[in-house]
Amino acid sequence: MVPPRPALSFDHLGIVLAVLIGVALFAAPFATYRATRIASGEARLLIEALPVAMASALVLVALGLAAGAVLVRDPLGRLGSAVIGLAVLLPSLGLSAGFLTPADNSFARVSPSAGFWLLSLSFSLLAVDALARMRLGPFGRLVALAVGVSALALLLFSGIWDDLSIIKEYRTRADSFWREARQHLMLAVGSMALACLIGVPLGIASHRLRTLRTAVLQGLGIVQTIPSIALFGLLIAPLGALAASVPLAAALGIRGIGAAPAFIALLLYALLPIVANTIAGLNQVPAVVADAARGMGMSPWQRLVQVELPLALPVILAGIRIVLVQNLGLATVAALIGGGGFGTFVFQGIGQTAIDLVLLGAIPTVVLSFVASIILDALVDFSKGALA
């Protein structure tokens, strides 16, 4: 008797990606051309935005990837397909800018449009799905991140994207870009570091004292319900009064507007995840381990430092990961009160109706959040491995 042939199986995520790729290729514009920086854009489909040979090659590669995403389940095959797709797509955007920009025209602008973003999203999701199926350890994820960042840096330094509008925006603001980058990191990372110095001891104390725990968690929970721009505004008056009455505060840069209220607001938002995760981490320390440490004659301080905190470290690091990603995003809003950071470009771009200036601030923020999330995820896994 001949065994029945297995039914053809389709990957569910692959079907979604295939639909997105189809829309990106044939329905959504690949690039937008503007005669000047703030002129109305003219959407160009893929076949119009690239030379025929390049457009045809990209269409064939994308269709092949769509079929592979639906039919191929092998993680290495999916990852290889995604890498090929990105390797063809990303340089194509730069070639599109050169193709659409008239010769010796320094006023024209070419920006990526919905079709490019959909293709980028589809190929990236395919790569992430392949890496997830490969179940990489923390070191493998860090290596994959390093390879991706290196490839992106190589693409930027190669000059193939030089005709894109966002790169032109960067070149005219290179000095201010790196100044605002430092300010953004100072706000996000500095407030996170101070929140750790305050939040971990506060979490330890709250773990020991139930009445303190209730009051602290409820108070920090109320802070989390206040919208960021409202909290920035609430801090302006008291900090302005403090700067006016205390010359030392003004000398230290504490004012009603600027970095000070933004930093304090980010600090307040960061405390709840760190305090709550410190309490949760300490709560999950097995009672038998604490009893064994007590039986060995360890003092309460020794038990805390040598036993409880190391066992709680993965959960505490998970809270720090939440805080850093949250702060990198919220720091963008600080520009509204003069706090600086990448939000400066976002809100300038909105005011000037210059979408590429908005992207100049938004894309680095997204990239930083993504990188920080992967690195801290790896650190959490490393800490778990150290305890195993």
C-alpha span between 138 and 314 (Å, rounded): 13
Is residue 148 located within the same domain as residue 178? Answer: no
* Sheet containing strand 42-44, strands side by side: 42-44, 31-34, 109-112
CA dihedral 320, 326, 331, 337 (to 10 degrees): -120
Q: Does residue 88 surpass a pLDDT of 60?
A: yes
pLDDT digits (tens, 9 = 90+) for 341-354: 999 999 998 888 78
Is residue 161 located within the same domain as residue 180? Answer: no
Domains of the chain: total: 2
- Predicted local confidence at residue 86, as pLDDT: 93
- Predicted local confidence at residue 8, as pLDDT: 56
Is residue 331 located within the same domain as residue 227? Answer: yes
Domain at 293, CATH number: 1.10.3720.10
Tell me which long-range contacts 225-231 makes (C-beta under 8 A, separation of at least 24). 228/265, 228/269, 228/330, 228/333, 229/333, 229/336, 231/265, 231/268, 231/269
Going by C-alpha positions, the residue among 240, 236, 316, 334 that lies closest to residue 275 is 316
Is residue 229 located within the same domain as residue 201? Answer: yes
pLDDT digits (tens, 9 = 90+) for 197-231: 999 999 999 998 888 998 999 999 998 888 888 88
Q: Does residue 194 surpass a pLDDT of 60?
A: yes
How many angstroms separate the Cα of 134 from the Cα of each of 71, 127, 129, 201?
17, 11, 9, 38
pLDDT digits (tens, 9 = 90+) for 294-321: 888 888 888 888 888 888 999 999 999 9
- Predicted local confidence at residue 6, as pLDDT: 52
pTM, 2 dp = 0.87
Is residue 139 located within the same domain as residue 185? Answer: no
Last residue of a domain, one of 142, 165, 188: 165
Residue 65 lies in a domain: yes
Instruction: Give the three-class secondary structure for 104.
Output: coil
C-alpha span between 153 and 280 (Å, rounded): 39
Residue 7 lies in a domain: no
Residue 231 lies in a domain: yes
In this prediction, residue 195 has a pLDDT band, given cuts at 50, 70 and 90, of: very high
pLDDT digits (tens, 9 = 90+) for 98-117: 899 887 777 888 999 999 99
Higher pLDDT, 8 or 88: 88
- Predicted local confidence at residue 199, as pLDDT: 93
Is residue 161 located within the same domain as residue 178? Answer: no
Domain that holds residue 237: 174-387
Is residue 185 located within the same domain as residue 111? Answer: no
pLDDT digits (tens, 9 = 90+) for 241-282: 777 777 776 666 677 777 888 888 899 999 999 999 999 999
Is residue 199 located within the same domain as residue 311? Answer: yes
pLDDT digits (tens, 9 = 90+) for 129-158: 999 899 888 898 899 999 999 999 999 899
Q: Does residue 12 surpass a pLDDT of 90?
A: no
C-alpha span between 64 and 21 (Å, rounded): 10
Residue 84 lies in a domain: yes
C-alpha span between 8 and 19 (Å, rounded): 19
Is residue 82 located within the same domain as residue 179? Answer: no
Q: What percent of the chain has pLDDT over 70?
A: 95
Residue 87 lies in a domain: yes
In this prediction, residue 4 has a pLDDT band, given cuts at 50, 70 and 90, of: low
Give me the chain's average pLDDT, please. Answer: 88
